[in-house]
Structure 1
Amino acid sequence: MTLDPVLARIDADLPQATERLFELLRIPSISTDPAFKADCDRAADWLVADLKSIGFDASKRPTPGHPMVVGHSGGDAAHLLFYGHYDVQPVDPLELWDNDPFDPRIEETPKGKVIRGRGTADDKGQLMTFVEACRAWKAVHGTLPANISMFFEGEEESGSPSLTPFMEENRAELTADIALISDTSLFDENTPAIMTQLRGLLGEELTITGPSRDLHSGMYGGVAMNPARVLARIIAALHDDEGRITVPGFYEGVPELSNELAAAWDDLKFDHESFLGEVGLSEPAGEKGRRPLEMIWSRPTCEVNGIWSGYTGDGFKTVLPSKASAKISFRLVGTQNPHEIRKAFRKMVQDMLPADCSVSFKDHGASKASVMTTTHPAFAQARKALSDEWPNAAAFTGGGGSIPIAGHFKEILDMDTMLIGFGKDDDGLHSPNEKYDLSSFHKGIRSWARILHAMTS
């Protein structure tokens, strides 16, 4: 099947494709808030209907949470499974949005046209690039170039509690030759990226308790143990002067960057000064002696995500707080074991507690890092296809974030995964005024069409 008429169809159909995306974006499918449960169902129904309209045998599958959407095209060629998620983040703080988050629109910006609205980049716009590529193939050739399955979930933004049980229960149906995911970004606006490694994630919340109630600091200050002081000492002890993390055994399973990968990343000429400058910073603050890209993509981290204790309202209250709390996340690489790190972190905290203080913990998930096997022929095929569409050749990159589904595909379905996305660093994921460049949507559709052709020719 020829590619050029498919690309021409994509170009001609862009206004209609954009309006279809708008229909999906108008559905407030916020998975974390029970008030939007019906909307999540509605988004799943919309996707089922849309897949059926291009010939997929699609259905909505119930779970204890929000439904899955599964569709199959059939065919004798290579079996490809595409994954995306239709749920979105809450919109708070609403007052920081310039317009209704669920009234999508195209806006002119100094950098070009963007699609503005919640879910545009994460992940409805990305998801629909693949669906629209399939639509164009079907319209031109009457069939798809491969045996394609679609797998969309509605709980990615709320921890995916139903995902692994569903995958285990439907292992035979979901297993394919390779999994494709579009929930990542370009390296830069002219350089597409195939993400070959993702960091894992461990979340911990701890609360230090000292006195049985808040105390008057004039009466008890100096003689009573202050849990905020204890928490501050613990947090300060998590890194040494070289930026290394001090949790015992933390670096077990952390690989060194290979010379080949280091050279490839150096060739990308990452401008860390501009990267940090955009957020008002200038100096890398991680482990000394490490490349900035290395710190983002292939080194583990320990970060404080929130601290609270005592009186934090307007004015001043001379209180000695009863409790002090923090949320701490660890990004993991290589074969680091999140469960062992959790145990080591908690023991470290407990060993640092003074008399009269106790600690309680709450876990916020744990996932291992994912490393993709780039020797699979699909990686070279996709790299060539992407390079034909974009000004610069495609790069194999790492990812600082965590997408647990990539690891689940390997562990549960024994499938390699290829992550290709078209977002940009300024898309504002999870933030007010989220956007997705119209060019990312358009060229993303064309890119997937090229990849399908390359993988099935």
Structure 2
Amino acid sequence: MNLEAYLEANEKEHLQQLFNLLRFPSISALSAHKNDVLACAEFIKNHLANLGFENAELLPTKGNPVVYADWLHAPGQPTVLVYGHYDVQPVDPLPLWTTPPFEPEIRDGRIFARGATDDKGQTFLHFKALEALFQTEGKLPVNIKFCIEGEEEIGSAHLPDFLEKNAERFQADVLLISDTGMIAPGRPTICYGLRGLVAFELHVETAKRDLHSGEHGGGVPNAIHALAELIASFHDAEGRITVDGFHDQVTSVTAEELQAFRDLGHDDEAYRTSLGLPALHGEPGFSTLERLWVRPTLEVNGIYGGFQGEGTKTVIPREAHAKLTCRIVPDQTPEHIYQTIERHIEKHTPKGARVTLTRQDSGRPYVTPFHHPAIQWAAKAYEKAYGVEATFTRGGGSIPIVETFDRLLHIPVVLMGFGLPDENMHAPDENFALENFRLGTRTLAYYYQGLPDALK
């Protein structure tokens, strides 16, 4: 049986295996799911061992374990390090899910579940591609190492230290990751750059307790008002970030790269309509793709405070909170961004309020030259599976650990993603297209098959 026939004959079983993986509520951000995270890691370890990979184990970190396994029986051939993550985002708001987030279901040609596209579904494609090669050829054309972590959704806080201490174990010739996306259905895409991440929380306090809005209204500060005023100070009316020094480290994009963006034929109106927006909004003077890929951002992700229940409660809240993240671009650093935010808050704290800034996740941006043979071969593998040429783009999201791998291992990073823009990553009704489940598995199998010749 050849590779394509094997994958077609076993597709139903492979989907059931993926569903079993998706059923784990491995939410790394919530301590209540610690045991679910560990159970998910154990499931992947056992699955890799059953496929024929050796040395399958859970490597401890200061947080959630890393799943490791290898197959190193292709002497003289390249070694590929496959990175992915088994943790997922929280599911809130739960009422917006059509079906329960951890009960996978196929509807309209898509797999619906938390983690379907980010990143269990995409990581699972590697397992099945390599399984197909094992079963049809009796061996693998390359050496393989896995590094599947459980804290990507909370910034991979413990992985850099772990990798520095275990760099020799993970040494390879190529790092291969499927945790990015395609620009449209049927348009395979290789991502050669990622924005970095800076996350923080704002805590605003005023009085020592909530106050009666009749007895004290008009004479005391309101924590929510203060928070809203502070948040509003981060941007001007047109969408520019107004934090002094925020853009100091931003590197200009080359004219060649900007022309490549224009050649993609991005349709602003189609993009707006697909998101159900009355209008697009962003930093003046830049195209939508520039705003999404090569310009930094400062976004409010959540805000809370005061009375949230049904009906009315006439209080002046004593505290209010907001969660914010920045996407940063070369050559910005998390440290510099934190410092500019701190200075801005000191300068703009409203009268009568006390503001505390709490630092959270961070990760550096990453850009790689896309002329390396390992990356160019990825384009050929996509073309063989999808029948069209692959597109090279930057990505607006973040995989914080990519820059760390680059710095420690000094190997090319190949980002072969199969997600689509409308798959609700991080949102209710997350999903993954069955077409990309099928073609993605084949693409990766072709990539592994041809990589030795590509690197000669």
Aligned to 2:200, the other structure's residue is in SS state strand
Aligned to 1:140, the other structure's residue is in SS state helix
In the alignment, structure 1 residue 308 sits paired with structure 2 residue 304: yes
AA partner of residue 132 (structure 2): A
Aligned to 1:232, the other structure's residue is in SS state helix
Distance 1:282 1:354 in 2: 32
Structure 2: which 5+ residue stretches go unaligned?
none
Residues 275-314 of structure 1: pairs in structure 2 closer than 5 A = 275-314=271-310
Alignment equivalent of 1:404, drawn from 400, 405, 408: 400
Q: Does structure 1 retain, via aligned residues, the 8 Å contact 2:68–2:148?
A: yes
Higher mean alpha-carbon deviation, 183-192 vs 385-394, is at 385-394
Distance 2:378 2:99 in 1: 37
Alignment equivalent of 2:151, drawn from 152, 155, 167: 155
Q: Which residue of 1 aligns with 2:242?
A: 246
TM superposition shift of 1:241? 4.2
Distance 1:206 1:376 in 2: 42
In the alignment, structure 1 residue 106 sits paired with structure 2 residue 123: no
Q: Which residue of 1 aligns with 2:86?
A: 86
Alignment equivalent of 1:70, drawn from 57, 64, 68: 68
Q: Does structure 2 retain, via aligned residues, the 8 Å contact 1:196–1:374?
A: yes
Deviations 1:211-257 (A, max 9, x none): 33333344433333334333333222212344321111111221222
Alignment equivalent of 1:202, drawn from 193, 198, 203: 198
C-alpha spacing 1:409/1:317, structure 2 compared with 1 (3 Å):
same
Q: Does structure 1 retain, via aligned residues, the 8 Å contact 2:152–2:400?
A: no
In the alignment, structure 1 residue 183 sits paired with structure 2 residue 179: yes
TM superposition shift of 1:261? 1.3
In the alignment, structure 1 residue 61 sits paired with structure 2 residue 59: yes
In the alignment, structure 1 residue 384 sits paired with structure 2 residue 380: yes
AA partner of residue 249 (structure 2): G
In the alignment, structure 1 residue 5 sits paired with structure 2 residue 5: no
Q: Does structure 1 retain, via aligned residues, the 8 Å contact 2:80–2:176?
A: yes
Distance 2:451 2:443 in 1: 12
Q: Which residue of 2 aligns with 1:259?
A: 255
Runs of 4 or more above 6 Å deviation: none
Aligned to 2:392, the other structure's residue is in SS state strand
Q: Does structure 1 retain, via aligned residues, the 8 Å contact 2:250–2:329?
A: yes
TM superposition shift of 1:182? 0.6
Q: Which residue of 2 aligns with 1:129?
A: 125
Aligned to 1:327, the other structure's residue is in SS state strand
AA partner of residue 400 (structure 1): G
In the alignment, structure 1 residue 41 sits paired with structure 2 residue 34: no
Give me the CA root mean square deviation: 2.2
Distance 1:62 1:114 in 2: 35
In the alignment, structure 1 residue 365 sits paired with structure 2 residue 344: no
Structure 1: which 5+ residue stretches go unaligned?
none
TM-score (norm 1): 0.92
Q: Does structure 2 retain, via aligned residues, the 8 Å contact 1:119–1:434?
A: yes
Q: Does structure 1 retain, via aligned residues, the 8 Å contact 2:58–2:68?
A: yes
TM superposition shift of 1:131? 1.2
Deviations 1:318-353 (A, max 9, x none): 433322332222110011122122112112111223
Q: Does structure 2 retain, via aligned residues, the 8 Å contact 1:372–1:418?
A: no
Q: Does structure 1 retain, via aligned residues, the 8 Å contact 2:362–2:400?
A: no
Q: Which residue of 2 aligns with 1:221?
A: 217
Distance 1:149 1:323 in 2: 49
TM superposition shift of 1:288? 0.9
In the alignment, structure 1 residue 329 sits paired with structure 2 residue 325: yes
